[in-house]
Every structure is written in C-alpha cells, then in structure tokens.
Amino acid sequence: MEVEEKLRELAKKLLDSKEVDVVIGYGKVHDDRRRGPVFITDPADVDKLVFDERCLNNLAGYLNKRYKLLKAEFDRPAVVLKGCDAKAAVGLIQESQFTPEDVILIGVCCSGVVPDYDSSYGERPFKCQVCDVHRPKNVAHVIGDLPEDEPLLEYTPSEEATELADRPREERYAFWRAELERCIRCYACRAVCPLCSCERCIADSNQPQWIPTSGHEIGSWSWNIIRAFHLAGRCIGCGECARACPVDIPLDLLNQHLRKIVSERFGYVAGLDPEAKPPLITFKEDDAEEFIR
C-alpha cells in the first residue's frame, strides 16, 4: 500500500475512533503547485492528506508556543512529521512546550525533500544528504517502509559550512556582516522555526529596547547573532529558517557551525533523545570550559 494510502487509513481510524479530533498533515495548496498544512477533522476528508517530496514545512511548528492556541480548539491533535521534524518535537518535549501524552505524533518515512516547490527538482538539501532519520524516531506511529538509520552521534557540517568555518576570523566576520546587512527584519526565520518558542521575543521587547527595530545594519546584526545564540544546542537543522528567508541569507551555514561546535564541545546532537539534558540547561563541575577562555 502506498504511503499516502496508509497515512489516510491511519488518520481515518484515529478520527473515527475519536482518539484524535484533528489530524494536521500536508495537503495540496496553490493549485497543486505546493504542499501546505491542512487540518483534517472529518474522517470523510482524509483523502486531502498527501505526502511526497514537496512536503517541506516542519509541522512541529504547531507544537511550540502555538500549542496553546491549538489546544484551545482541539483536545487531542495528531501531527504528521518527517524524521527531521520529529527531532524538533523532541526538543519541544525537552522544553515542556507540549504534553506528549495529549498529542499523537505520526511519523512518515521520507527519502528526502526537494529544495523548493518548483517542478525543476534539483539537488536535495544538505539535511537530506546527511539524514539519519529517514525513518522517524520518537513518534507513536511510523508510516512507510524505510529501514532504521544509524543515528549521527557527531554532527558533520556541509563542505560549504566547513570551508567558511576554516576561513580566518576577519574573513568570516566580513562574510557575515555582508550577509546580515541584507536582513530586512521580516522575522520569517523566527515564525517558521519550531524551536523559536519564546512567548515574548527579545526582538519585540521595548522596555528596555535590546534590539533596534528598524532594519538597519546594527539591529539586523544584533538580531541574527542573538537568534543564533538562542538556537545553539537546540537547533535540529530542519533548514526551515534558511528556506523562509526572503533575501536568501544562508542561515543554515550559521546553524550548521553551531551544531558542530555543540557536538564537539558537549558531545550533544539536538533532537535525538527526549530524556537528554541539552547542554545549555545543565553543567558539569569538571567542565574544562576552555571555550570561554
């Protein structure tokens, strides 16, 4: 049976039995040119669920601060997640953003997505090239037949990210100053990131005003650096921020570098284990702390 058929069958079963009152999955939008979130509440509508390599969105974004809004409407939601999206759900469980007992996570095996919805399918994004969760982990149901992958216990960044990280500090600084100067402060990266889960973002605070609100260079620099630090040790590398950025700032290069540092310094890769303590919320008395000297 095709993955989509199995997904629809499971959704129908969950809705029919009232085990869930909504299934949030992917549907056809924009005349079938794109895939986007759909909320299925009627078992008769499960045929609207689709799953293919154009299902780019990370639907774990409904389980962060938006979870309260979701719960105001639905008692018991089910959410369709690819393996990388399920890593975000792990981070959100660790941070108590949603109650795992109240949400059914439906994992769908995934061979990779396409870089954009355009039909001229190009090379798969880097996250798919190094994917260790083609078969989703830490979910209630797994749909599809891909075998288990070996978990990546160390993080390996792309050649592009490694080449950038190897440049002298002045060159890296110049690279990021030039890139971040282009930021228009639309906050699409924040809106789409499942782990950008603060109720009140520091960028919106005005008493005191930590970050200037206009889209000039200093404010944009502050915003992006602060956001990167807030995601350190938490970013699961779904790549949504880079995909959403309307001016194509390569935010994924920054995230990859941070993931590598956290992996090397703390032996921690985000999104693998809901029971693990992320490095930024714990400490070791014998920590060498050489990285802050």
Residue 240 found at the interface with ligand SF4 (CB under 6 A): yes
Answer for which of 14, 20, 24, 131 binds ligand SF4 (CB under 6 A) is 131
Answer for which of 79, 106, 143, 244 binds ligand SF4 (CB under 6 A) is 244
Q: Please report how close the Cβ of residue 105 comes to ligand SF4 at its closest, in angstroms.
A: 14
Residue 10 found at the interface with ligand SF4 (CB under 6 A): no
Residue 257 found at the interface with ligand SF4 (CB under 6 A): no
Residue 262 found at the interface with ligand SF4 (CB under 6 A): no
Answer for which of 20, 241, 253, 269 binds ligand SF4 (CB under 6 A) is 241
Contacts with ligand SF4 in 87-126 (CB under 6 A)? 88, 110, 112-113
Contacts with ligand SF4 in 183-202 (CB under 6 A)? 183-189, 192-195
Q: Please report how close the Cβ of residue 211 comes to ligand SF4 at its closest, in angstroms.
A: 11
Residue 278 found at the interface with ligand SF4 (CB under 6 A): no
In three state form, how does the secondary structure of the chain look? CCHHHHHHHHHHHHHHCCCCCEEEEEEEECCCCEEEEEEECCHHHHHHCECCCCCCCCHHHHHCCCHHHHHHHCCCEEEEECHHHHHHHHHHHHCCCCCHHHCEEEEECCCCCCCCCCCCCCCCCHHHHCCCCCCCCCCCEEECCCCCCCCCCCCCCCHHHHHHHCCCHHHHHHHHHHHHHCCCCCCHHHHHCCCCCCCCCHHHCCCCCCCCCCCCHHHHHHHHHHHHHHHCCCCCCCCHHHHHCCCCCCHHHHHHHHHHHHHHHHCCCCCCCCCCCCHHHCCCCCCCCHHHC
Q: Please report how close the Cβ of residue 85 comes to ligand SF4 at its closest, in angstroms.
A: 7
Contacting residues toward ligand SF4, per CB under 6 A:
82-84, 88, 110, 112-113, 127-128, 131, 133-134, 183-189, 192-195, 224, 231, 235-241, 244-247, 249, 255
